[in-house]
Copies of this chain bind each other. A is one copy, B any other.
Protein backbone atom coordinates (compact mmCIF):
# COMPACT_ATOMS: atom_id res chain seq x y z
CA UNK A 1 0.00 0.00 0.00
CA UNK A 2 1.26 3.42 -0.90
CA UNK A 3 0.64 6.19 1.55
CA UNK A 4 2.40 9.53 1.75
CA UNK A 5 1.71 10.19 5.42
CA UNK A 6 0.13 13.50 4.44
CA UNK A 7 -2.74 12.82 6.83
CA UNK A 8 -0.38 12.29 9.74
CA UNK A 9 1.56 15.43 8.90
CA UNK A 10 -1.66 17.40 8.61
CA UNK A 11 -2.96 16.22 11.99
CA UNK A 12 0.35 16.85 13.74
CA UNK A 13 -0.39 20.56 14.27
CA UNK A 14 -2.75 21.44 17.16
CA UNK A 15 -4.55 24.28 15.42
CA UNK A 16 -5.00 22.25 12.26
CA UNK A 17 -6.41 19.42 14.36
CA UNK A 18 -9.05 21.77 15.77
CA UNK A 19 -9.94 22.95 12.28
CA UNK A 20 -10.34 19.37 11.16
CA UNK A 21 -12.33 18.36 14.23
CA UNK A 22 -14.77 21.22 13.71
CA UNK A 23 -15.20 20.35 10.05
CA UNK A 24 -15.65 16.69 11.02
CA UNK A 25 -18.63 17.70 13.19
CA UNK A 26 -20.30 19.28 10.21
CA UNK A 27 -19.71 21.55 7.17
CA UNK A 28 -18.25 24.94 7.97
CA UNK A 29 -17.23 28.02 6.03
CA UNK A 30 -13.81 29.62 6.30
CA UNK A 31 -15.31 32.69 7.96
CA UNK A 32 -17.13 30.54 10.51
CA UNK A 33 -13.94 28.72 11.42
CA UNK A 34 -12.04 32.00 11.64
CA UNK A 35 -14.69 33.34 14.03
CA UNK A 36 -14.59 30.17 16.13
CA UNK A 37 -10.86 29.74 16.50
CA UNK A 38 -8.38 32.33 17.86
CA UNK A 39 -6.41 32.63 14.63
CA UNK A 40 -6.67 34.85 11.57
CA UNK A 41 -8.63 33.96 8.46
CA UNK A 42 -5.51 33.48 6.32
CA UNK A 43 -4.22 31.02 8.89
CA UNK A 44 -7.49 29.09 8.59
CA UNK A 45 -7.27 29.11 4.81
CA UNK A 46 -3.72 27.82 4.96
CA UNK A 47 -4.62 24.98 7.32
CA UNK A 48 -7.57 24.03 5.12
CA UNK A 49 -5.25 23.96 2.12
CA UNK A 50 -2.96 21.49 3.89
CA UNK A 51 -5.92 19.38 5.01
CA UNK A 52 -7.30 19.41 1.49
CA UNK A 53 -4.00 18.34 -0.06
CA UNK A 54 -3.90 15.56 2.54
CA UNK A 55 -7.35 14.56 1.27
CA UNK A 56 -8.90 14.92 4.70
CA UNK A 57 -11.35 17.64 3.66
CA UNK A 58 -13.05 18.92 0.53
CA UNK A 59 -14.24 22.39 -0.46
CA UNK A 60 -17.63 23.23 -1.89
CA UNK A 61 -18.12 26.81 -3.14
CA UNK A 62 -21.45 28.31 -2.13
CA UNK A 63 -21.79 31.85 -3.30
CA UNK A 64 -19.04 33.93 -1.82
CA UNK A 65 -18.47 31.29 0.82
CA UNK A 66 -16.40 28.13 0.67
CA UNK A 67 -17.95 25.32 2.64
CA UNK A 68 -15.55 22.64 3.85
CA UNK A 69 -16.54 19.12 4.78
CA UNK A 70 -14.61 15.93 5.38
CA UNK A 71 -13.33 13.78 2.52
CA UNK A 72 -14.60 10.29 3.39
CA UNK A 73 -12.48 8.68 0.69
CA UNK A 74 -9.20 10.22 1.78
CA UNK A 75 -9.98 9.63 5.43
CA UNK A 76 -10.71 6.00 4.62
CA UNK A 77 -7.34 5.68 2.90
CA UNK A 78 -5.55 6.84 6.01
CA UNK A 79 -7.51 4.41 8.14
CA UNK A 80 -6.82 1.53 5.77
CA UNK A 81 -3.13 2.30 5.78
CA UNK A 82 -2.95 2.41 9.57
CA UNK A 83 -4.89 -0.85 9.77
CA UNK A 84 -2.43 -2.60 7.52
CA UNK A 85 0.59 -1.08 9.24
CA UNK A 86 -0.82 -2.15 12.57
CA UNK A 87 -1.32 -5.71 11.33
CA UNK A 88 2.15 -5.98 9.84
CA UNK A 89 3.81 -4.59 12.95
CA UNK A 90 1.95 -6.99 15.20
CA UNK A 91 2.81 -9.96 12.99
CA UNK A 92 6.48 -9.05 13.12
CA UNK A 93 6.23 -8.58 16.86
CA UNK A 94 4.70 -12.03 17.37
CA UNK A 95 7.37 -13.62 15.21
CA UNK A 96 10.03 -12.12 17.45
CA UNK A 97 8.28 -13.43 20.54
CA UNK A 98 8.22 -16.93 19.08
CA UNK A 99 11.84 -16.68 18.01
CA UNK A 100 12.77 -15.70 21.57
CA UNK A 101 10.87 -18.66 23.00
CA UNK A 102 12.67 -21.09 20.70
CA UNK A 103 15.93 -19.75 22.03
CA UNK A 104 15.12 -21.17 25.43
- A residues engaging B (CB < 8 A)? 5, 8-9, 11-12, 14, 17, 24-27, 69-70, 72, 75-76, 78-79, 82-83, 85-86, 88-90, 92-93, 95-96
CB-contact partner of A82 in B14, B24, B82, under 8 A: B82
25 contacts between A and B (CB under 8 A): A5-B12, A5-B14, A5-B17, A8-B8, A8-B11, A8-B12, A9-B12, A12-B12, A24-B85, A24-B88, A24-B89, A26-B92, A26-B96, A69-B96, A70-B89, A70-B90, A70-B92, A72-B89, A72-B90, A72-B93, A75-B86, A76-B86, A79-B82, A79-B83, A79-B86
